[in-house]
Amino acid sequence: MTVAAPPRREMTSGARYRHSLWLLTKRDLKVRYSTSALGYLWSILDPLLMSAIYYFVFVIVFDRSAVDRPYIVFLLTGLLPWVWFSGAVGDMTRAFIRDAKLIRSTSIPRSIWVMRIVFSKGIEFLASIPVLIIFVLASLATTTPAHLQWGAFYSLLAIAIQAVLITGIGLIIAPVVVFFRDLERAVKLILRLMFYVTPIVYGLEKFNTHHEIKALISFNPMTGITALYRASFFSGELDWFAVLMSVVISLIVLGVGMLTFRRNVRAVLKEI
């Protein structure tokens, strides 16, 4: 007497989505690092080089060695999230173009091609955190050590807000750039400008006496997100108005992104 095998459970649509998303995210990471001699080091080389340049300019050249905080830690708490943001947004301009054949030949939800960039770049961001920890530990031997504060819990909120913001931007850029290829260059220029209007190499408290400028900078969603990350070591950087603006703008961008993506995805499939 043979016993029939139990019926195979079909994956729900949500489970299929998560499974496909994870497979594509792993594929992105493997493709990025499997053929690279440096591998993981590439994910931290960019922020390290940028930090070294700004450290030389502001600490060595302009002699800010007497400041009351470790400037290299201050830089990294702003640069590491920025690398996630700028890298993901830059890749969004090629989200549909780079894998056009695969996108046309599969039936998985097309939003996955945006979300896999958010996740893969987010994983790279998390993988770069040990570099920050090394510099934090090194600062303990200096006259301006960096101490972990209770505001470190706000980093979880920062990660969530940043993921929402990047997703919303990606849902807008990914389909639109298929019809307007010049948008890819425009995004690069906007990111370059946005870097300097985001308090990364300088602190938000610099504008405490210039309320109009501080309020204007707070409308940059990365300002509040950066402030949340920096609260881990520098409580004076936390500005709740900037954080509120980041939450509101990120949610608006996500809503606009979902609407834009839904209205254009069919036309995109015909175009690519």
On whether residue 13 sits in a domain, the answer given is: no
Backbone torsion region of residue 39, taken as left when φ is above 0, otherwise alpha when ψ lies between -120 and 50, otherwise beta? left
94 falls within a domain: yes
Counting the structural domains of the chain, the total is: 1
Residue type for position 175: P
* Average pLDDT of adjacent 10-residue blocks, the chain of 272 residues: 50 74 80 64 74 76 62 90 95 86 79 91 90 88 83 94 97 93 91 93 81 89 96 90 96 97 87 74
- The predicted pLDDT at position 235 comes to 85
Residue 6 in any domain: the answer is no
**Assigned domain for 209 exists:** yes
Q: Domain for residue 165, yes or no? A: yes
- 203: in domain: yes
pTM of the full structure: 0.86
Q: Is residue 7 part of a domain?
A: no
Query: Is 66 within the bounds of a domain?
Result: yes
Side-chain half-sphere CA neighbours of 241 within 13 A: 11
| Three-class secondary structure assignment of the chain | CCCCCCCCCCCCHHHHHHHHHHHHHHHHHHHHHHCCCCCCHHHHHHHHHHHHHHHHHHHHHCCCCCCCCCHHHHHHHHHHHHHHHHHHHHHHCCCCCCCHHHHHHCCCCCCHHHHHHHHHHHHHHHHHHHHHHHHHHHHCCCCCCCCCCHHHHHHHHHHHHHHHHHHHHHHHHHHHHHHCCCHHHHHHHHHHHHHHCCCCCCCHHHHCCCHHHHHHHHCCHHHHHHHHHHCCCCHHHCCHHHHHHHHHHHHHHHHHHHHHHHHHHHHHHHHC
Give residue 127's domain range.
Answer: 28-271
Please give the pLDDT value at position 1: 45
